[in-house]
Each structure stands twice: as C-alpha cells, then as structure tokens.
Amino acid sequence: MTHLAIPKTYKLYIGGAFPRSESGRTYEVTTSKGAFIANAAKASRKDARDAVVAARAAFSGWSGTTGYNRGQVLYRIAELLEGRRAQFVDELRSTDGLTEAAATKQVDSAIDAWVWYAGWADKYLQVAGNGNPVSGPYFNISTPEPTGVVAVIAPATHGLLGLVSVIAPVILSGNTVVVVASESSPLSAISLSEVLATSDVPAGVVNVLTGSAAEIAPWLASHADVNALDLAGAEALEWVDLQIAAADTLKRVLPPESGLPALTVDRVTFFTETKTVWHTKALI
C-alpha cells in the first residue's frame, strides 16, 4: 500500500507561535505553471500589529544578550537548515520552478549567509564603533546598538535566500523583525520559521507574515512602534508612499534593492544607532 501524503498547513509565525490569519483569509500558492500547492495565510492589518507587539516584547531580551550568544544562535540556524535542506530544495523547486541544481545552490547560499552573518554578531561593534579622543578629562566611546523593531519587505524572488539576506543582518545586532515574505514564494518562509522556532531564537525575535505586501506594508510603515523599515523587496510597490508614511515617526528607511541584496556589513550597521558615552575622569 502506498502512503497517502499529508500536506502541511502553512500559517503565519508570530511571537513564536504559528497562528492562522485572524482574518481567516488564505490565498493559493501555485507552482510556476499554475498548479495548486497550498493555501497560505493571507495576513491582515491586525496580524501585522500583533507581530509588531510580539517583536517589541522580544526586543529587550534579545538586544540584552551578548554578541557571542547571538552569534551561536545564528550559527544554530545554519545547522538546522543544513539538516532540512531536502525540504527547502523541494519547496523552491515547486514554488519557484527551479531546477534541483539551482534550488540546491540557493539553499547552500542561504545556509552560508547565516554562517557569515553569525560571525558578525560579536565583531560589528568593533568595526562600527570607536573610542573618541576628546580634548578633556573624559572617557568617551561610541558603540552601535540595535535600532529596535524593524519591518522588512522581503525580496519578491529567491524565496529562501532573499528572506535570509534581509533577516540575518537585522537580528544579529539585537533588533527584532517583522518580515513580509515573498507573496509568490511563501513556503520557504514558513518552513524557515519552523527552523527558527527550534533554533534557540527567542519567540518574537522573527515574525513572518505571508500574503500581500502591497496590503500589509502601509500598516507597518506607519506603525508608531516600528523603528525602521527595510524596503528591500518593495521595488514593485508604491515605495515612495511607504517612505513618506514612515517619516511621520522618523523611521530609518532603507530603499528598495533591484534583485537579491548582497551580504554586507552595511546592512548590519544601517539598523543600528550610535551611542556615545562620556564619563568624567578624576584629576589625579
């Protein structure tokens, strides 16, 4: 007797849990040729707001961990992704119509991206910060700190690697993130959430919404408890309007990228704030 497959229900990832959209909506995810694969959750404004609440709640704990600790957590993600590579290859082949070789290459690159960024967690401060030789009896040092809650529009292509390329640089410094996954390729995003949920990433550090970026992005851009907005995958959206909405609370805004964002330390430092601390020295 052959085994009858059990298809997975793809849901959202908010605050460490996998809820359906509160709106009850789903949308059809299909192969590149149009065949049905799954009903993904179509996130609503309320889901976006719930995700921001979860991200804010997680910020204090995550940003308070050491860089060494966060580096190990990110490395752990790479370990678990490695163990589930076959699943991601299958999903990318079905949603993005990739050949096995191309899908494998993307999964390899995504694993390596986690490893590359993991190594930055306890180093970016040394690159982006410095002591300052002020002319007076003061100890003075500038260090980068995470900006806070970052909303991210993931690249529309490269369902897995695109997502990793924008999440990893944001969370390694201690930010928490609400990411809107690629609308056409959301399965990797939810499967990646399963990896995150079992990789010692605290609940709420990464929150993943699937659905229409055009619908959800304006709520995130105008949300008063979001500190920064990464428009990486927003090139096809009305992204200038999003930037204008973000100006109301003076969010930091990274403009759209055409194509896959490169792995850079600039993506890390952009979502940080430089804090300069002065302390008096005794005159002895």
Partner 1 sequence: MTMEASNTRWLDYAPAPESTSILHLKKSYGLFIDGDFVAGSGRSFTTISPADEHSIAEIASADAGDVDRAVAAARKAYNSTWSKLGGADRGKYLYRIARLVQERARELAVAESLDNGKPIKESRDVDVPLVAAWFFYYAGWADKLEHAGLGPNPRALGVAAQVIPWNFPLLMLAWKIAPALAAGNTVVIKPAETTPLSALIFAEILQQADLPNGVVNIITGAGETGSLLVNHPDVNKVAFTGSTAVGRAIAKSTAGTGKKLTLELGGKAANIVFDDAPIDQAIEGIVNGIFFNQGHVCCAGSRLLVQENIETEVVDRLKERLVTLRMGDPLDKNTDIGAINSRAQLDRIRALSDIGEEEGATRWSAPCEIPAKGFWFAPTIFTGVETSHRIAREEIFGPVLSVLTFRTPAEAIAKANNTPYGLSAGIWSDKGSKVLAVADKLRAGVIWANTFNKFDPSSPFGGYKESGYGREGGRHGLAAYLTNAVLQSGANK
Given the rule CB under 8 A, which residues bind partner 1?
Answer: 127-128, 130, 132-136, 138, 140, 142, 144, 147-148, 227-228, 239-240, 243-244, 246-255, 266, 269-280
- Closest approach of partner 1 to the CB of residue 269, in Å: 6
- Closest approach of partner 1 to the CB of residue 28, in Å: 33
Q: For partner 1, give the closer residue by CB, 76 or 223.
A: 223
Burial of 203 (0-12, 13-18, 19+ CB in 10 A): middle
- Closest approach of partner 1 to the CB of residue 279, in Å: 4
- Strand 206-209 to strand 176-180: parallel, antiparallel, or no bridges (unpaired)? parallel
- Closest approach of partner 1 to the CB of residue 244, in Å: 5
Q: For partner 1, give the closer residue by CB, 123 or 252.
A: 252
Q: For partner 1, give the closer residue by CB, 24 or 136.
A: 136
Q: Rounded to whole angstroms, what are the CA distances from 35 to 65, 68, 94, 239?
A: 45, 45, 9, 31
User: Does residue 275 sit in helix, strand or coil?
Assistant: strand
Q: For residues 263 and 266, give the distance between their C-alpha atoms in angstroms, rounded to a whole number.
A: 9
Q: For partner 1, give the closer residue by CB, 17 or 134.
A: 134
Q: For partner 1, give the closer residue by CB, 88 or 271.
A: 271
- Closest approach of partner 1 to the CB of residue 86, in Å: 37
Q: For partner 1, give the closer residue by CB, 31 or 126.
A: 126
- Closest approach of partner 1 to the CB of residue 131, in Å: 9
Compute the CA torsion angle 40, 41, 44, 49 (nearest 10 deg). Answer: -120
Residues contacting 47, CB < 8 A, separation 6+: 12, 14, 19, 21, 22, 23, 41, 209, 216
Q: For residues 210 and 229, give the distance between their C-alpha atoms in angstroms, rounded to a whole number.
A: 17
β-bridge mates for residue 280, sequence order: 138
Q: For the beta carbon of residue 196, count every other beta carbon within 10 angstroms.
A: 25
